[in-house]
Amino acid sequence: MQLTKAYIALVMAEATATPLLLLIALYILTGYQTLYPDKLRLFPNPTAIHTDKVLRIATTILATLHSSAGIVLLCERRIRNRLTREVIEIIVLLLFLAICAALLITDITG
């Protein structure tokens, strides 16, 4: 099998999908448990989980990788003009990289 950009993006999107889904579910559950501690009792300390720096960094990195792979995959499948496709991919990837860097800097220093 030839390693094309679309194949690598597909593998990256598939590899990040399940961990990202689990982290998002964890954030939703701990958030609701923090809001409604009397109604929902799943974790002993939901606030500590919800505000954990390592989990936030992992979620940011996984979300950036997953969305970047998805954009590359969409561009590779839908845009026929090679120059247009590569320009759009570069612009979007730089935008995702800037957002990810800003979030990581905020999480690490804050």
Query: Measured in whole angstroms, how far is the alpha carbon of residue 1 from the centre of its chain?
Result: 27
As a whole number of angstroms, the distance between CA 107 and CA 91 comes to 24
pTM to 2 decimal places: 0.87
CATH architecture assigned to 5-109: Up-down Bundle (1.20)
The span from the CA of 89 to the CA of 93, in Å, is: 6
Note the pLDDT tens digit of each residue in 30-89.
999 999 988 888 989 999 999 999 999 999 999 999 999 999 999 999 999 999 999 999
Q: How far apart are CA 107 and CA 7, in angstroms?
A: 32
Q: What is the tens place of the pLDDT at every residue in 6-23?
A: 999 999 999 999 999 999
Token digits of residue 101: 């860097």
Domain residue ranges in the chain: 5-109
